Amino acid sequence: MDPFRKRKDFKVDIKEFKRGDKTHHGRFVNFWDRPDLDDIPNIVEPSMHGMVEVMRGCGRGCKFCDVTLRSLRYYSPEKVKKEIEVNIKKGGMDRAWIHSDDIFVYGMDIKTSKNMEPNRDALEDLFKAIMSTGVKHTNPTHGTLSGAIADERLVPSLSKITNAGPDNLTGIQCGFETGSTRLIEKYADRKLAPYTPDEWHWVVKEGVKTLNENYWIPAFTLIMGLDNDEQPEDGWETIRLISELEREQPEAMFTATPLTFVPIGLLEKSEFYDMGQDNDPTQLGVMYKTWQHNFKYGIQKFMTKTGKHGAAGKLKATAFNGLARSLGGVPLGAMERYARRKGREHERVIERIKAEYW
Write the pLDDT tens digit of every residue in 92-125. 999 999 999 999 999 998 778 878 999 999 999 9
The answer to whether residues 194 and 210 touch, using CB atoms and an 8 Å cutoff, is no
Domain residue spans of the chain: 43-356
CB neighbour list of residue 157: distance below 8 Å, 6 or more residues apart: 120, 124
Q: How far apart are CA 183 and CA 196, in angstroms?
A: 13
Q: What angle do CA 230, 149, 83 make, to 5 degrees?
A: 95
**pLDDT > 90? residue 59:** no
**pLDDT > 60? residue 312:** no
pLDDT range class, residue 243, cuts 50, 70, 90:
very high
Q: How far apart are CA 203 and CA 218, in angstroms?
A: 13
**pLDDT > 70? residue 16:** no
Q: What is the pLDDT of residue 281?
A: 93
**pLDDT > 60? residue 139:** yes
- Taking the CB of residue 9, how many other CB atoms lie within 10 A of it? 14
| Alpha helix (H) residue ranges in the chain | 77-91, 120-131, 145-149, 154-162, 181-187, 200-213, 232-248, 282-293, 310-327, 330-342, 344-356
Query: Which three-class secondary structure state does DSSP give residue 358?
Result: coil
Predicted confidence (pLDDT) per residue in 199-240, tens digit: 999 999 999 999 999 999 999 999 999 999 999 999 999 999
Query: Which three-class secondary structure state does DSSP give residue 125?
Result: helix
Q: Burial-class residue 156 by CB neighbours within 10 Å (0-12, 13-18, 19+).
A: middle
CATH of domain 43-356: 3.80.30.20
**pLDDT > 60? residue 12:** no
Q: What is the pLDDT of residue 34?
A: 72
Predicted confidence (pLDDT) per residue in 267-290, tens digit: 988 999 988 776 789 999 999 999
Q: What is the pLDDT of residue 305?
A: 60
The structure's pTM equals: 0.86
